[in-house]
């Protein structure tokens, strides 16, 4: 029983990072109708700008987080302007390939700059473990979880309660009509990408602190899982994406705990096949399907 | 850099990829853009490797059996996917590919995580050239055949095709099986050159490479993807002079070419009025600014969109 | 004084197929004008061209004598004072009725002024007020049409473009919609309507054009058009 609860807790924590990356990825897909293969690399760049901030500015965790958010946000901004926007209206697979090109450049570029091996990330948060009735959770994990929830909460508030957030939803459902009612689709698209990027940037620094390192190829793992999460959840409600991401984290953790850790990576794919056979537009439905 | 020894592996790998791309082209013609190419190639590789290494089969029969086995698997997959379209279909092939990879990972008989090794080196340059030529020939003839025409009809408008007496199910299954056979043969050849088949090479990332070749070259004819395959296979090797920068350059080249030719390297003008170009991604493209991007667009000069007219 | 909207020699093509073939139309301020035509005649294409949602091969569309709409993007065109009631309503189904109206007034940045305008409209449409927090996708056809019209009115436009407002609606609902249109026009908003439902629409409009495969074949005050034999036969079910 303790093992079960512990793994559920661990799973929620891992899942919360999946959720942040997946929600950003999903927002961009839903609003811009593109698969940004470089989203995980935006995550990774945030990790390194956060590292730079931690090493050269201050060892305050907040500074590192801001560094991550700004670095990732800038990368996303440039990507949107130079790659995504010029390819609008083309086959979505073209943007996928172009962003893949960017991803290859980014990963290998970072590997050249900083080496292909993980770099140590300063211990900005301690290693204290808290015990709650048999299960334990570390300070860093707590931070990770709290940050992810905060970011997700912000995203949810933005989309549901702000003027631009409403416009974002309108574009996702009917872009022509949105444009015809005064929404500058280009501007909102850009804002959406930057927002998704900044979210990934914050998540990446929090993950770097958690595992104690920053790595040029860190994005790959999160990228694939987020993609699967987005497909399984459907892109209509991003609360659905959050729920599926958390669920995936929990199931993976349970599989690791009770079966074997090498199988846990396969969980995502079996889940994908299972769900898509039954509900092709994802568990919670998608726009335009 | 000029010695034949340097070029030989590059040529062989390029041709192996050409075989696989041809197979993918065949399935893609019927609208099924398979993301499981690497997985299917892996199946072909495993089958022929086991036959030659464990049962001492000669090379040619092993390749044939591998091709048939892959064709059967591909055909079954296509049969399962008959009702699916577009995005969901691509995803299912993706999931299938990954699942195959995980299954291979967990079968100790074929080596599990470490893959199957001890494969005899049967593939020679001649073999590869011959099979590649065959593959291109098959793809080219298929393209121009009745089945090829039917495939395109099924891709563009399954309902209309069905109304014209085309069995969508048969066309899809047949083209997928045919394409898979070619891919399986390619996988077999590859196994007997690289001398190793592993589960990890069956993954999505590798399958994506072939999609990239296809799209890079433009979906409208066979030659574009083949040219793209050779260029993109050779490029990282040729770029070796750039050392650790070569992958960065590779990514940059991919990016720049897509931005320069967003419809693919080689395009074909649509045949007459109403001829269809490459499928546009979204129905509401006008709300987005397209390649002009600037605030003052004179809509008189912009190409009219390709797609269905509403009124 | 220049007309509110002037379309000159508009040509729109889909690939090589002409959809609009040299159409010229004038809408003076204050009137309700009507484009009649069968499916495929090109009516919706003209509306989309005005809105910036459809590129044109040649021609010009001038608003208030100054702005060449073919040079502008959709959101800029809306800012000039043109609003759309799309064919098939095209509400944002995942947004509530209130959110749909708020989006209608997207260009209004003053939240208080926007709220006042929406309150006015909700008073005029009490059934919508009752359903304000319901998802727009869950409303009936007639209710959705009311939301679509209200949405277009939030920004207090000068010109309303109505694309087949009667489509898919029961006859008594259509009557209400057309009565509403008359009311809107009386408030000073000009209307360009595109319709297949000739009988009722001709009673509503001041002037009408008949569009056939991308060309205007008949043009004149609506009473005259209604009396024309060809229109009678095709649309009104035979000679009166």
Q: What pLDDT digit, counting tens, does each position of B8-43 carry?
A: 888 888 999 999 999 999 998 888 888 899 999 999
Q: What is the ipTM of this complex?
A: 0.89
d(CA A251, CA A221) in angstroms, rounded, equals 16
User: How many inter-chain contacts (A to C, CB under 8 Å) are there?
Assistant: 64
- Look at residue C237 in the predicted model and tell me its pLDDT: 55
Higher pLDDT, A71 or B223: A71
- Look at residue B203 in the predicted model and tell me its pLDDT: 81
- Would you list the DSSP string of C40-93? TSSHHHHHHHHHTSS--SEEEEEETTTEEGGGS-HHHHHHTTEEEE-TT----T
C161 and B CB contact within 8 Å: no
- Look at residue B105 in the predicted model and tell me its pLDDT: 78
Question: How would you class A118 by CB atoms within 10 Å of its CB: exposed for 0-12, middle for 13-18, buried for 19 or more?
Answer: middle
pLDDT band at residue A78 using 50, 70 and 90 as cut-offs: very high
Q: Which of B94, B95, B287 sits opposite A175 (nearest CB)?
A: B287
Contacts of B among chains (3+ CB pairs under 8 A) = A, C
**Strands of C67-68's sheet in order across:** C17-27, C5-14, C58-63, C67-68
φ, ψ of residue A138 in degrees (nearest 5):
-85, 165
Residue-wise pLDDT for A122-177, tens only, equals: 877 777 788 877 778 888 888 889 999 999 999 999 998 999 999 999 998 899 99
pTM given for the model: 0.80
Higher pLDDT, C47 or B216: C47
Please indicate whether, in this complex, the C-beta atoms of C42 and B310 are within 8 angstroms of each other: no
Is the pLDDT reported for residue C225 higher than 70? Answer: yes
d(CA B138, CA B181) in angstroms, rounded, equals 11
- In three-state form (DSSP H/G/I as H, E/B as E, the rest C), the secondary structure along A51-78 is HHHHHHCCCCHHHHHHHHHHHHHHHHHH
C-beta atoms surrounding B240 within 10 Å: 12
Interface of C with B in 47-86 (CB under 8 A): 48, 52-59, 70-74, 76
Please indicate whether, in this complex, the C-beta atoms of B311 and C59 are within 8 angstroms of each other: no
- Look at residue B241 in the predicted model and tell me its pLDDT: 67
d(CA B72, CA C168) in angstroms, rounded, equals 49
Residue B222, both tokens: 């066979």
Sign of CA dihedral B59, B65, B68, B69: negative
Q: Percent of chain C at pLDDT above 70?
A: 95
Cβ contacts of B296 on chain C, cutoff 8 Å: 71-72
**Closest residue of chain B to C68, computed from CA coordinates:** B298
Is the pLDDT reported for residue C195 higher than 70? Answer: yes
Is the pLDDT reported for residue A109 higher than 50? Answer: yes
E strand or H helix that includes residue B198: none
Is the pLDDT reported for residue A262 higher than 70? Answer: no
The conformational region for residue B177 under phi > 0 = left, psi -120 to 50 = alpha, else beta, is alpha
Interface of A with C in 173-192 (CB under 8 A): 173-174, 176-185
Single out the residue of B22, B18, B222, B183 nearest to residue B97, CA to CA: B183
Please indicate whether, in this complex, the C-beta atoms of C75 and A183 are within 8 angstroms of each other: yes
Please indicate whether, in this complex, the C-beta atoms of A269 and B102 are within 8 angstroms of each other: yes
Higher pLDDT, B94 or C12: C12
Q: Percent of chain C at pLDDT above 90?
A: 56
Q: What value does the mean pLDDT take over residues A213-225?
A: 82
pLDDT band at residue A229 using 50, 70 and 90 as cut-offs: confident
- Look at residue B279 in the predicted model and tell me its pLDDT: 33
d(CA A149, CA B205) in angstroms, rounded, equals 31
Please indicate whether, in this complex, the C-beta atoms of A85 and B289 are within 8 angstroms of each other: yes
Is the pLDDT reported for residue C59 higher than 70? Answer: yes
- Look at residue A218 in the predicted model and tell me its pLDDT: 81
H helices within chain B, ranges in order? 4-29, 37-55, 59-80, 86-105, 125-144, 146-156, 158-163, 168-194, 204-217, 223-238, 246-260
Q: Which of C51, C86, C106 sits opposite A167 (nearest CB)?
A: C106
A101 and B CB contact within 8 Å: yes
User: How many inter-chain contacts (B to C, CB under 8 Å) are there?
Assistant: 64
**Closest residue of chain C to B297, computed from CA coordinates:** C71
C53 and A CB contact within 8 Å: yes
- Look at residue B300 in the predicted model and tell me its pLDDT: 52
Cβ contacts of C16 on chain B, cutoff 8 Å: 272-274
Residues recorded for chain A: 289
pLDDT band at residue A60 using 50, 70 and 90 as cut-offs: confident
pLDDT band at residue A95 using 50, 70 and 90 as cut-offs: confident
A55 and C CB contact within 8 Å: no
- Look at residue A267 in the predicted model and tell me its pLDDT: 76
Cβ contacts of C94 on chain A, cutoff 8 Å: 169, 173, 236
Please indicate whether, in this complex, the C-beta atoms of B285 and A89 are within 8 angstroms of each other: yes
Q: What value does the mean pLDDT take over residues C219-238?
A: 72
- Look at residue B267 in the predicted model and tell me its pLDDT: 62
Is the pLDDT reported for residue A45 higher than 70? Answer: yes
* Best of A170, A173, A177, A234 to mutate (most C CBs within 10 Å, chain C): A177
Cβ contacts of C75 on chain A, cutoff 8 Å: 179-185
Single out the residue of B196, B190, B32 nearest to residue B111, CA to CA: B196
Please indicate whether, in this complex, the C-beta atoms of B99 and A87 are within 8 angstroms of each other: no
pLDDT tens by residue, chain B, 311 residues: 456 777 888 888 899 999 999 999 999 888 888 889 999 999 999 999 888 888 888 888 889 999 999 999 999 988 888 777 676 777 778 778 878 887 787 777 777 777 888 788 887 888 888 889 989 998 888 888 888 888 888 888 878 888 887 788 888 899 999 999 999 999 999 999 888 888 888 887 788 888 888 878 877 788 888 888 888 888 777 776 666 677 787 788 888 888 887 776 666 544 433 333 333 333 334 444 333 333 344 555 333 333 323 32
C44 and B CB contact within 8 Å: yes
Cβ contacts of A166 on chain C, cutoff 8 Å: 95, 99, 102-103
Distance from CA of B172 to the nearest CA of C (A): 29
d(CA B280, CA A90) in angstroms, rounded, equals 6
């Amino acid at each position: 029983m303790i093992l079960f609860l512990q793994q559920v807790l661990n799973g929620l924590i891992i899942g919360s990072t999946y959720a942040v990356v997946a929600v950003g990825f999903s927002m961009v897909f839903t609003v811009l109708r593109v698969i940004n293969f470089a989203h995980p690399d935006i995550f990774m760049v945030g990790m390194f700008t956060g590292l730079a901030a931690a090493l050269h500015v201050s060892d305050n965790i907040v500074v590192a987080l801001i560094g991550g958010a700004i670095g990732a946000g800038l990368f996303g901004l440039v990507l949107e302007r130079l790659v995504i926007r010029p390819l609008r209206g083309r086959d979505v697979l073209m943007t996928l390939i172009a962003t893949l090109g960017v991803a290859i450049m980014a990963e290998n570029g970072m590997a050249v700059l900083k080496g292909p091996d993980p770099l140590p990330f300063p211990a900005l948060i301690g290693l204290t473990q808290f015990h709650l009735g048999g299960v334990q959770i570390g300070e860093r994990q707590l931070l990770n979880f709290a940050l992810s929830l905060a970011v997700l909460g912000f995203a949810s508030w933005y989309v549901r309660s702000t003027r631009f957030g409403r416009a974002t939803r309108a574009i996702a459902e009917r872009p022509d009509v949105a444009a015809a009612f005064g929404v500058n689709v280009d501007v909102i698209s850009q804002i959406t990408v930057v927002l998704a990027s900044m979210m990934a940037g914050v998540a990446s620094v929090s993950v770097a602190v958690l595992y104690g390192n920053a790595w040029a190829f860190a994005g790959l793992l999160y990228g694939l899982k987020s993609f699967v999460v987005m497909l399984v959840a459907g892109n209509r409600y991003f609360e659905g994406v959050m729920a599926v991401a958390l669920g995936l984290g929990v199931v993976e953790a349970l599989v690791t705990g009770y079966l074997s850790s090498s199988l846990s990576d396969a969980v995502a794919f079996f889940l994908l096949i299972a769900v898509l056979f039954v509900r092709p537009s994802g568990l919670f439905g998608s726009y335009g399907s | 850099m000029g010695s034949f020894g340097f070029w030989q592996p590059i040529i062989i790998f390029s041709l192996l990829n050409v075989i696989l791309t041809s197979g993918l082209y065949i399935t893609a013609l019927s609208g099924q853009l398979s993301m499981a190419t690497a997985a299917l190639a892996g199946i072909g590789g495993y089958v022929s490797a086991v036959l030659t290494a464990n049962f001492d089969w000669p090379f040619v029969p092993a390749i044939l059996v591998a091709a048939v086995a892959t064709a059967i698997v591909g055909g079954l997959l296509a049969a399962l996917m008959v009702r699916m379209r577009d995005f969901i279909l691509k995803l299912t092939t993706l999931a299938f590919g990954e699942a195959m990879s995980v299954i291979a990972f967990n079968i100790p008989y074929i080596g599990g995580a470490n893959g199957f090794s001890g494969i005899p080196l049967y593939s020679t340059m001649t073999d590869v050239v011959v099979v590649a030529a065959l593959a291109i020939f098959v793809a080219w003839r298929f393209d121009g055949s009745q089945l090829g025409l039917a495939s395109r009809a099924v891709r563009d408008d399954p309902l209309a095709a069905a109304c014209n007496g085309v069995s969508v199910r048969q066309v899809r299954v047949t083209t997928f099986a045919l394409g898979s056979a070619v891919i399986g043969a390619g996988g077999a050849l590859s196994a007997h050159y690289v001398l190793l088949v592993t589960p990890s090479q069956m993954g999505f990332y590798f399958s994506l490479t072939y999609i990239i070749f296809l799209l890079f070259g433009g979906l409208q004819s066979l030659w574009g993807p083949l040219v793209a395959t050779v260029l993109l296979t050779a490029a990282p090797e040729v770029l070796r002079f750039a050392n650790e920068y070569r992958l960065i350059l590779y990514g940059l080249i991919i990016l720049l070419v897509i931005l320069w030719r967003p419809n693919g390297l080689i395009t074909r003008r649509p045949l007459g009025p109403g001829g269809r170009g490459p499928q546009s991604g979204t129905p509401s493209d006008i709300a987005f600014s397209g390649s002009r991007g600037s605030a003052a667009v004179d809509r008189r000069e912009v190409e009219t969109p390709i797609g269905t007219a509403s009124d | 004084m220049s007309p509110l909207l002037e379309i000159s020699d508009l040509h729109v093509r889909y690939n090589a197929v002409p959809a609009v073939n040299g159409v010229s139309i004038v809408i003076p301020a204050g009137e309700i004008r009507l484009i009649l035509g069968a499916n495929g005649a090109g009516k919706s294409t003209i509306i989309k061209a005005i809105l910036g949602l459809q590129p044109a091969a040649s021609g010009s569309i001038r608003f208030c004598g100054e702005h060449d709409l073919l040079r502008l993007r959709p959101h800029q065109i809306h800012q000039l004072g043109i609003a759309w009631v799309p064919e098939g309503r095209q509400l944002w189904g995942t947004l509530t009725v209130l959110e749909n109206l708020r989006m209608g007034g997207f260009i209004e940045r003053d939240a208080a002024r926007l709220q006042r305008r929406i309150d006015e409209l909700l008073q005029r449409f009490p059934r919508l007020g009752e359903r304000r927090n319901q998802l727009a996708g869950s409303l009936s056809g007639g209710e959705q049409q009311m939301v679509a019209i209200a949405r277009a009115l939030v920004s207090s436009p000068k010109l309303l473009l109505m694309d087949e407002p009667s489509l898919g609606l029961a006859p008594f609902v259509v009557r209400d919609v057309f009565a509403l249109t008359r009311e809107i026009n009386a408030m000073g908003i000009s209307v360009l309507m595109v319709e297949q439902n000739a009988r009722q629409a001709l009673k509503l409009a001041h002037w009408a054009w008949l569009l056939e495969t991308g060309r205007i074949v008949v043009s004149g005050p609506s009473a005259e058009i209604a009396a024309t034999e060809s229109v009678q036969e095709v649309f009104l079910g035979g000679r009166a």
